[in-house]
Amino acid sequence: MRILITAGGTHEYIDPVRFISNASSGRMGYALARAALKAEHTVTLVTAPTSLRIPNGAKVIRVETAAQMFEAVKKHFRLCDCLIMAAAVADYTPARPAKTKIKKTGQSVTLTLKPTTDILKWAGKHKNEGRRTKDDRRIIVGFALEDKALRTRAEKKMRNKNLDMIVANSPSVIGAEKSNVQIKRLDAPWIRIENNTKSAIAKEIIHLVEKLQSSLK
């Protein structure tokens, strides 16, 4: 399969030297890239800034902002068989970033934010563009980070964004070596993976993607 994977947390610039971001380490996305490569798939990795070592064999596209990640996904989406959106894409970005460094004045500053493009929703809407037949479906996998009503909110996200699979977890997974996750495919029961490494979780996700692809043929 040709698998397109996003990873890391985007940087949304306030001025040329300051940005707002999140605590994502990018480890899950990179683990997915390595697991997919080990399973002999072709991998394109769209990565926001991280300190992680690039997986050998992956085609890497480096981005910083949510807008840049969206453009990269759009460019490569048509050629992929599966998109796995593991990146922590900012939901908001500064509406009017300053062109020069904002000077400290001692006064309060109000920062106005505007929504970023929902990349996962766009992908779900265009899921089967460019596919040869109705049985030749593209697979889309999303992640849901929820602090309450995890399964309910994750299933709602999966259906609203036309996903084939959702990986749900809590904020405690951010930066952690081991994680608890729950995975749901359409018309299949939840799968729970507890206290396991991100490498092991990534391997299972790729395995489930492969099974899903086989079932669509």
In this predicted model, what pLDDT tens digit does every residue of 165-201 receive, in sequence order?
A: 999 998 777 766 778 899 999 889 999 999 899 999 9
- Is pTM beyond 0.85 here? yes
Q: Is residue 131 part of a domain?
A: yes
Q: Is residue 97 part of a domain?
A: no
CATH number of the domain within which 16 lies: 3.40.50.10300
Alpha carbon dihedral 207, 208, 214, 215, in 10-degree steps, equals 160
Tell the residue number behind the tokens 């929902």, with chain if given: 118
**Which stretches of 16-152 are assigned E, i.e. beta strand?**
18-20, 42-47, 59-62, 82-85, 92-94, 113-115, 139-145
Exposed/middle/buried for residue 106 (C-beta within 10 Å: 0-12, 13-18, 19+)? exposed
Q: Is residue 107 part of a domain?
A: no
Reported confidence tier of residue 147, pLDDT bands at 50, 70, 90: confident
Q: Is the pLDDT of residue 131 over 90?
A: no
Q: Is residue 193 part of a domain?
A: yes
Which residue in 22, 162, 180, 196 is the catalytic one? Answer: 22
Q: Is residue 101 part of a domain?
A: no
Domain interval for residue 160:
2-92+114-216
Cα–Cα distance between 31 and 51 in angstroms, integer? 14
In one-letter notation, the amino acid at residue 198 is K
Looking at the 3D structure of the chain, how many domains does it have? Answer: 1
Q: Is residue 98 part of a domain?
A: no
Q: Is residue 42 part of a domain?
A: yes
Residue 62 CB partners (closer than 8 Å, separation 6+) = 47, 49
Q: Is residue 100 part of a domain?
A: no
Q: Is the pLDDT of residue 46 over 80?
A: yes
Helices (H), 78-118: none
196 is catalytic: no
